[in-house]
Amino acid sequence: MKEKNGPTPGFHMAFEDSSDRVPVLLIHGFPLNNMMWDLQVGDLSDVARLISPDLRGHGMSDPTQPPYSVGMFAEDCAALLDQLGITVPIVVAGHSMGGYVAFEFCRRYPERVAGLILVSTRAGDDSAETKAARDKSAGVAIAQGVEPIAEGMLPKLLAPENFAAEVDLVDFARDMMIETSVEGVVGALAAMRDRPDSTPDLPGLDVPTLILHGEEDQLIPLAEAEAMAAAMPQARLVIVPEAGHLPSLENPEVFNEALREFLEIFYEE
Ligand code: MLT
């Protein structure tokens, strides 16, 4: 909203205020931080009020003692909205683990959700095999630090061509991961391991929903996104080409265009 107003008589000060735009809560994935949304925050502030927290133990947020849970993450997000005085329904956007948190936020605060953006995520819970792998990874993080976790994930995080050619992007993703605290990694692994199955919720999530998924995601198969889109009453799936598990960074042009088009519906009469 462009304004011209005068705090002082005879003087008109022009200013921008995004408080009339739909608030969008951008929840990052594991073991990342809010820098994964840098290219959206920079580009989309004219259509949304973008709020991108670092989950506890990640980025600049405090590393409290694990274990964490998706409920704890969802409550942290709700408390942040309260602190910012945001009482209107918002669009909740979650990337991968952030999507698991978004589903939990919807269960706890359905009245606060005007729309959903689900990025590179899935509705289902962990298999016994995946739960065991989470515990093994937590043991590695405790014994050796976060670096082996980051190095193990990195080749699967990006599309193979991007991993091979986009040196700056690979470094950016690695830096985000190795900045995560051991507490954050161990806590988030427990949160993901113990999260409930959100599949039964999908038909009841009757809000405008955008699902974005990298065509070459090696961590969560595209079929998971297709299944979510089919089960949700108001979902639209956009498959992001030339992108793996991090489409917001790998193909920001296509990603942001889809986001912009989606967010504009919140201004239609
Ligand atoms: C993520 O990207 O947040 C995680 O890889 C998701 C998961 O491990 O289930």
Per residue in 34-77, pLDDT tens? 999 999 998 998 899 999 999 999 999 999 999 999 999 999 99
Using the mean position of ligand 1's atoms as its centre, give its distance from the Cα of residue 41 in Å.
22
Q: How far apart are CA 75 and CA 233, in angstroms?
A: 26
Please report the pLDDT score of residue 269 as a whole number.
46
Over pLDDT 70: what percentage of the chain?
96
Per residue in 201-239, pLDDT tens? 999 999 999 999 999 999 999 999 999 999 999 999 999
In sequence order, which ranges of the chain are alpha helices (DSSP H)?
A: 38-41, 70-83, 97-108, 128-144, 147-157, 160-165, 167-178, 182-193, 222-231, 247-250, 252-264
Using the mean position of ligand 1's atoms as its centre, give its distance from the Cα of residue 245 in Å.
9
The stretch 65-92 carries a mean pLDDT of 97
Please report the pLDDT score of residue 19 as a whole number.
72
Please report the pLDDT score of residue 201 as a whole number.
98
Tell me if 173 sits within 8 A of 250, measured CB to CB. no
Please report the pLDDT score of residue 129 as a whole number.
98
pTM of the model: 0.95
- Token pair, residue 183, equals 């507490």
Please report the pLDDT score of residue 114 as a whole number.
98
Q: Does the Cβ of 244 fall within 6 Å of ligand 1? A: no
Per residue in 95-151, pLDDT tens? 999 999 999 999 999 999 999 999 999 999 999 999 999 999 999 999 999 999 999
- Among the atoms of ligand 1, which is closest to the Cα of residue 153? 5
- Among the atoms of ligand 1, which is closest to the Cα of residue 30? 3
Using the mean position of ligand 1's atoms as its centre, give its distance from the Cα of residue 66 in Å.
17
Mutate to test the pocket of ligand 1, among 34, 137, 219 (most ligand atoms within 8 A of CB): 219
Please report the pLDDT score of residue 1 as a whole number.
54
Sort 196 into a burial class: Cβ within 10 Å, 0-12 / 13-18 / 19+.
middle
